[in-house]
Amino acid sequence: MSAFLEVRNVTKVFGHGDNATVALSDFSYEINEASPSITAVAGESGSGKSTLARLLLGFIDPTQGEVLYRGKNLKSLSNQERQQFRREVQAIFQDPFGVYNPFYKVDHLLKTPLKSFKLASSRTDARQQIEAALDTVGLNPGEILGRYPHQLSGGQRQRITIARALLLRPRLIIADEPVSMVDASLRATILESLLKLNREFGISFLYITHDLTTAYQIAERLIVLYQGTVSEAGGVRPVIRDPQHPYTRLLISSIPTPDPNQHWTDEAVVVPGDQVEAVITDGCPFAPRCPHVMPECLTEMPPLFRSKEAAVACYLYRDAPQVPDRNLTAVLGAIGTKGASPAKSSVSVGSMTR
């Protein structure tokens, strides 16, 4: 059976000639319906994480490789299939202020999808579905319906966009930085709504973020991107607690821990990323900043090695077996839902870094 959504050897290049930028390079991953999972894709700006989201949503086409929906290339879907794809794959975006038309009441945003996809048999049915969806994300329909967007807080608006996605009974929701513009006190509420949709409705998530702490809270799988390439992928706990790739280690040790007794280590004795001048075209993109750089790092992109249940693109692990065809499904596919992975201990961030 083919995967629900598959990214196969996808490369995306923006611009051409001297101005070409490889936003995503040879990326392969599958999202299966049978085991609804939450995969976090983490990286800095420019890592290619939003490019991946746009490729999966069919907003942009890959330069090489293909995105397959139920085994069929997104480009060759029939109208009917495309309609189904649009319903089954939903998106939640970063900015809960930008997605609303200020002239319409929020009801409009919720009614339109039901109308477009003919999912409601009557007005009463539509109303009931909308109320149920709002209820699921923890909003009181009476307080929400009939209001204009400016009358609602950022947290409420973001939850309405989640309710809107839920109305279409999707199989996959691509959430691109859904909490980065929401205040701390409301962040937990939104993440909890996402988790609930995963648990109760079997919806898979691709959770795109720059914030590893929220990824740790809701995801079970983690893919760390660096300049368009996968630097490390694996279960969210093992990768965050025992990062293998020098970049992942730097990234995790840089997170400001909310504990005054646990200070930033000065371990990051690397070239600051904002001052790297040489751009590596063939080798490992992290090489110019890497404290362990070796000659081969500069000439050839490292393959993904299988180290401690994770996939690591680094020659430090050259003795480990390679991940065939750089396909992350081989590494991540087996990592189940979060409830089933009880390995919980209290390891501190400080002790994870070497």
Partner 1 sequence: MTRTGTAGNAGETLHVDDLHVQFHTPRGVVRAVDGVSFDLLPGERLGLVGESGSGKSTIALALLRMIKPPGRIVSGKVQLGNDDLSTISDDDMRRMRMARIALVPQGAMNSLNPVTRIKHQLIDTMKAHGAAPDSGPKERLETRVEELLESVGLKQEVAERYPHELSGGMKQRVCIAIAIALRPSVIIADEPTSALDVVVQRQIMQTLGAVQKRIGASVLLIGHDMGLMAQFVDRVGVMYGGKLAEIGETARLFAEPRHPYTQVLISSLPSFDRESQFIKIAGQPHSPLNPPSGCVFHPRCPHAFDICPRVIPELRTVGPQQVVACHLYDEANGGTRTPNERMSAVAPSGR
- Which residues would be at the binding site for partner 1 (CB under 8 A)? 44-45, 153-156, 183-189, 191-192, 195, 210, 213-214, 216-218, 240-241, 250-251, 254-264, 268, 272-275, 338-339, 344, 346-349, 352
Strands of the chain, DSSP E? 5-14, 21-31, 38-42, 64-69, 72-73, 89-92, 172-176, 204-209, 221-226, 229-235, 305-307, 310-312
**Shortest Å distance, C-beta 99 to partner 1:** 18
**125 or 183: whose CB is closer to partner 1?**
183
Q: How many CA atoms lie within 13 A of 295 on its CB side?
A: 0
The β-bridge partners of 222 are 40, 234
* Type and span of the H or E element at 24: strand 21-31
Cα-Cα-Cα-Cα dihedral sign, residues 296, 318, 228, 253: negative
Q: Which residue has the tokens 């392969």?
A: 28
**Contact (Cβ atoms closer than 8 angstroms) between residue 45 and residue 16:** no
Nearest CB to partner 1, comparing residues 299 and 348 = 348
- Asked whether 27 and 230 are in contact (CB, 8 A), the reply is yes
Give the residue with the Cβ less far from partner 1, 125 or 267.
267
At its nearest, how many Å lie between partner 1 and the CB of residue 266? 8
Among residues 115 and 292, whose Cβ is nearest to partner 1?
Answer: 292
Token pair for 186: 């409301």
What letter would DSSP give residue 286? T
Query: Which one-letter amino acid corresponds to residue 70?
Result: R
| Residue 33 or 44 with smaller CB distance to partner 1 | 44
Contacts of 45 (CB under 8 A, 6+ apart): 210
The residue (of 58 and 273) whose beta carbon lies closer to partner 1 is 273
* Through-space distance between the first and last CA atoms of the chain, rounded to whole angstroms: 43
Give the span between the Cα atoms of 138 and 160, in whole angstroms.
10
**How far apart (Å, rounded) are the C-alpha atoms in residues 149 and 37?**
31
Instruction: Identify which of residues 30 and 176 has a Cβ nearer to partner 1 in the complex.
Output: 176
The distance of closest approach from Cβ of residue 236 to partner 1 in the complex, given in angstroms and rounded to an integer, is 10
- Total residues found in the chain within this entry: 354
The smaller minimum CB distance to partner 1, of residues 102 and 260, is found at 260
